[in-house]
Chains A and B, each alone.
Chain A
Amino acid sequence: MTSIDMPWTLQLVIVGFLLFGALVALIGSWGLAKLPDIYTRLHGPTKASTLGVGCTLIGSLLYFSHQQGGVSFQEALVTIFLFATAPVSAHMMGKAALRRRLKGVPGTRNMPDR
């Protein structure tokens, strides 16, 4: 797809969303790699990635709505499912970590001692 029949302003907006989404997702992944313990690492994927994927999807929605004429709803569905499932997976991972009594980073306040 070399030449896209699309006004350049719209192209700019789409590119903006895609790049911002990619940047946020990158920061989230970097957080996953560099944060000190499992509990803090949970925060990267549940938040930074929802915004990253969200922006990418908005870009995709704009692009396909313009190319195919009419709004494409599937991206909105992906967002809804993502928002509904991300907290659940974070909850389960955190719970598993608590069950296995994984240590938090030194300085963690009120570490549960169960």
Chain B
Amino acid sequence: MTISRRSRQYWLPRPLFSLFLALLWLLMVNDFSMAHVLLGLALGVAIPVVTHAFWPEEAKIKRPLPLLRYLLVLLLDILRSNLVVALRILRPARHLRPGFFVYPLTLDDDFAITILASTISLTPGTVSLHYDSEANTLLVHALHLEDEAEAIASIRERYEIPLEEIFR
């Protein structure tokens, strides 16, 4: 590894993240003047350098296009799940069949698993509660569990397979 490459790795460990932080800063102050662009860029460089040690290995996003489609599906599902949960809340509680199930993961990237767990928590009637790193499983609680196998299959098909595509 040459000197210049090493210093790039040190000062700019993840360029995309730096850009994201700069953009976030600009949106947050809602002011697109030069001074704030420079301040945002400075923060974008400084924050990753300072917090570098806390981050896991950088996730590799291989294909951005499926990621966009994934976000769109997720947004629609959030909308749907909100309505479903609202209806479940309004109905008498004795109709509820809450239950736990163990979801076997096939993903092995930490970041991808985090996204999957967050997705499960945001979508129809499920909250992820525990990640078992040895067995590589997620413990999921469902507000209304009718068929375990079906719940697992739908999570695999809707979210995990697209995520595998994005991160592999």
Point out residues on A near B: beta carbons under 8 Å: 24, 27-28, 30-31, 34-37, 39-40, 42-44, 46-48, 50-51, 72-74, 76-77, 83-84, 86-88, 90-91, 94-95, 97-98, 104-105, 107-112
Contacts and interface: CB of A to CB of B under 8 A. Distances in A.
B85 A72 contact: no
B96 interface: yes
For the complex, would chain A's binding face be called helix, strand, loop or mixed by DSSP majority?
A: helix
A98 B129 contact: yes
Given A34-B89, A34-B93, A112-B139, A87 B128 contact: yes
Contacts of A86: 121-122
B130 A98 contact: yes
Contacts of A95: 129-130
Given A50-B122, A74-B27, A30 B89 contact: yes
For the complex, would chain B's binding face be called helix, strand, loop or mixed by DSSP majority?
A: helix
25 contacts: A24-B82, A31-B85, A39-B98, A39-B129, A40-B96, A44-B89, A46-B121, A47-B82, A72-B30, A74-B28, A77-B24, A84-B118, A87-B117, A87-B121, A88-B118, A91-B117, A91-B127, A95-B130, A105-B98, A107-B97, A108-B99, A109-B100, A109-B145, A110-B100, A110-B102
Given A42-B141, A43-B85, A110 B99 contact: yes
Contacts, number: 121
Interface residues of B, number: 38
A90 B120 CA distance: 11
